[in-house]
Amino acid sequence: MATGVLAYRARNPSVHTLPLLVTSIGGLAIVALVPALRRSVSGLLVGCLMVGVLATALVRAPPAGADMWVYHQMGRTLAEHGDSPYVHPPSDYPDDPWLDRLWLYSDDLAPYGPGYLAVTSTVATIFQESRLGVRLAYQLGAAMAVAACFVLMRRARAPDWCVALCVLNPVLVIEVVGQGRSDAYPALALLIAGLTARRWPHAAAVVIALGALIKLPVVLALAGLCLWVWRRDGFRRGVTVGASGAVPFLLAYAAAGGTVALQGTLDIRNISNGSSVWTLARENGMDSVLGGDLGARLGPVGSLASVAMVAAVLLAAILLLPRLFDRHPDAVLGTPLLAYLLVSAYPTARYFMWILPVFLLRPWAKQATVVIAQSMAILVTTLYAAALLLKTQQDALDPGAALDDRAFRVFHGLPVVLALLAIAWLVVDALTELRRRASSQPVTEAVLSDVPA
């Protein structure tokens, strides 16, 4: 009920958002932690509740400036104006009646993959000037992707309480379905890839490529899959699996304009928010983490963008090594993306939803715990900050904006603190697992040496 109310009131958050969030998030946590409650959860119950909260999320339109209006404007650039949104920002068409829906991004090139631009141009062609049609197209599309995740997780025999943690997750309901965002599709793609990679790794690579054509960072999952197949089946098969995903991915980008199609993504890599661990390295960063200076939360990060990328590669390598020995490839697909998000300059709650379904295929996965905790902390911070800014009539982009609220100061530092703790926990766990495997290897070889050929 709390999640449904949050979804309905997401357009106008208030200070009452915080207790609703605590009820929603705390309720899911209690069900996951109490054995009797976990056992009482049924697939039918989860399915009925999912339909209810998703339907509630579809009732109201998101505010002007929401991502779906950006999607549609870029789709109109392709469908109505016959130009590439990778070359022409929305502001190039000042007479377009949809331009007034954009508070932000009117001067930005498309940061989305060519696969999603094909979707946006199709929506723009079909619904044209219908704002209701456009809204429902994006919201229903995200809702159907979540419903598909529910069906696939149930067929894969994931525990019902794990399915509930996914499809009833307030981040997925409010930030993705309610806003009609594209983040549900990479989540579905990675889930399908995780379920098919063991028997059909080439098909899984193609599915990952489709997800990466929506959100570029998803391509990191392909690297994890190739390494897992290489260790299991040999170098040649690992290369062919990689080629199965890389070829359609590269051909799609070549058809969309080659490196020109990457410009929008490259432009946004140099911005950050206050949930990033790199906030601590910026001027007034500590004050920002403690809920003070809003001006330090957004804006260019300079050379930190390159540092963050190097850190992501190193962290992904450490976390991936023990996972390459897993029988199932679920964690291998999500781990590189988790490493990327933990050290990203611009982490948001909805980005973590890309990898939540695939991690929840196994109960009590450490990665799933990190994903849920981090996404919930960011959601609490952003929604409560939005409510306070609305109450005080301040602009989040105003360098002089500040929020003098005790609860906000407590919650605002949580994403950074949790990210640092998660990185330490996952690294220690990975190194411990590698040491355990290394110490058991000589014993295994000695036993096998005594077995007759």
Instruction: Say if residue 445's pLDDT is above 50.
Output: no
In one-letter notation, the amino acid at residue 417 is: V
Give the pLDDT confidence score for residue 394 in this predicted structure.
Answer: 57
Q: In the structure, what pLDDT confidence band is assigned to residue 107 with cuts at 50, 70 and 90?
A: confident
Give the C-alpha separation, 225 to 227, whole Å: 5
First to last CA, the chain: 63
3-state secondary structure of 127: helix
Give the pLDDT confidence score for residue 447 in this predicted structure.
Answer: 39
Give the C-alpha separation, 283 to 300, whole Å: 12
- CA of 287: how far to CAs of 143, 233, 298, in Å? 38, 51, 13
Instruction: Say if residue 443's pLDDT is above 50.
Output: no
- Measured in degrees and rounded to the nearest 5, phi and psi for residue 300 equal -65, 150
Q: Which helix (H) or strand (E) holds 299?
A: strand 299-300
User: pTM of this prediction?
Assistant: 0.90
How does the average pLDDT of the chain come out, rounded? 85
- The stretch 315-336 carries a mean pLDDT of 92
Residues 440/325, Cβ–Cβ less than 8 Å: no
Least confident residue range of 71-75, 147-151, 242-246, 351-355: 71-75
Instruction: Give 177-210 pLDDT, tens digit per residue.
Output: 999 999 999 999 999 999 999 899 999 999 999 9
Strands 299-300 and 271-272: antiparallel
Give the pLDDT confidence score for residue 49 in this predicted structure.
Answer: 95
Give the pLDDT confidence score for residue 180 in this predicted structure.
Answer: 92
- The tokens for 445 are 């070889």
Instruction: Give 277-308 pLDDT, tens digit per residue.
Output: 887 776 665 656 665 555 444 555 556 777 88
Instruction: Say if residue 65's pLDDT is above 50.
Output: yes
Give the C-alpha separation, 156 to 146, whole Å: 15
Q: In the structure, what pLDDT confidence band is assigned to residue 37 with cuts at 50, 70 and 90?
A: very high
Q: In the structure, what pLDDT confidence band is assigned to residue 386 with cuts at 50, 70 and 90?
A: confident
DSSP 334-357: HHHHHHHHHT-SS--GGGGGGTHH
Would you give the DSSP letter of residue 395? -
Give the pLDDT confidence score for residue 295 in this predicted structure.
Answer: 46
Instruction: Say if residue 395's pLDDT is above 50.
Output: yes
Give the pLDDT confidence score for residue 21 in this predicted structure.
Answer: 86
Evaluated on CA atoms 303, 259, 215, 236, the torsion sign reads negative
Give the pLDDT confidence score for residue 446 in this predicted structure.
Answer: 42
Q: In the structure, what pLDDT confidence band is assigned to residue 449 with cuts at 50, 70 and 90?
A: very low
Give the C-alpha separation, 224 to 230, whole Å: 10
Q: In the structure, what pLDDT confidence band is assigned to residue 442 with cuts at 50, 70 and 90?
A: low
Give the pLDDT confidence score for residue 184 in this predicted structure.
Answer: 95
Residues 422/367, Cβ–Cβ less than 8 Å: no
Instruction: Say if residue 429's pLDDT is above 80.
Output: yes
Give the pLDDT confidence score for residue 249 in this predicted structure.
Answer: 94
- Please enumerate in sequence order all residues whose Cβ is within 8 A of that of 61, keeping only pairs 6 or more positions apart, or say none: 11, 131, 135
Alpha-carbon Rg for the chain in angstroms? 22
| Closest by CA position to 25, among listed 364, 376, 369, 356 | 376
- The stretch 90-100 carries a mean pLDDT of 85
- The stretch 35-62 carries a mean pLDDT of 92
* Percent of the chain clearing pLDDT 90 (strictly above): 53
Would you give the DSSP letter of residue 12? S
Least confident residue range of 166-170, 318-322, 370-374, 401-405: 401-405
Instruction: Say if residue 274's pLDDT is above 90.
Output: no
Give the pLDDT confidence score for residue 196 in this predicted structure.
Answer: 94
Give the pLDDT confidence score for residue 97 in this predicted structure.
Answer: 84
Instruction: Give 117-132 pLDDT, tens digit per residue.
Output: 999 999 999 998 888 9
In one-letter notation, the amino acid at residue 233 is: D
- CA of 2: how far to CAs of 6, 140, 174, 217, 377, in Å? 6, 21, 11, 32, 17
Q: What angle do CA 375, 378, 384 make, to 5 degrees?
A: 135
Burial class (CB in 10 A: 0-12, 13-18, 19+), 29: middle
Instruction: Give 304-322 pLDDT, tens digit per residue.
Output: 777 888 899 999 999 999 9
| Closest by CA position to 385, among listed 368, 401, 366, 363 | 401
Q: What angle do CA 72, 254, 117 make, to 5 degrees?
A: 10
Give the pLDDT confidence score for residue 352 in this predicted structure.
Answer: 95
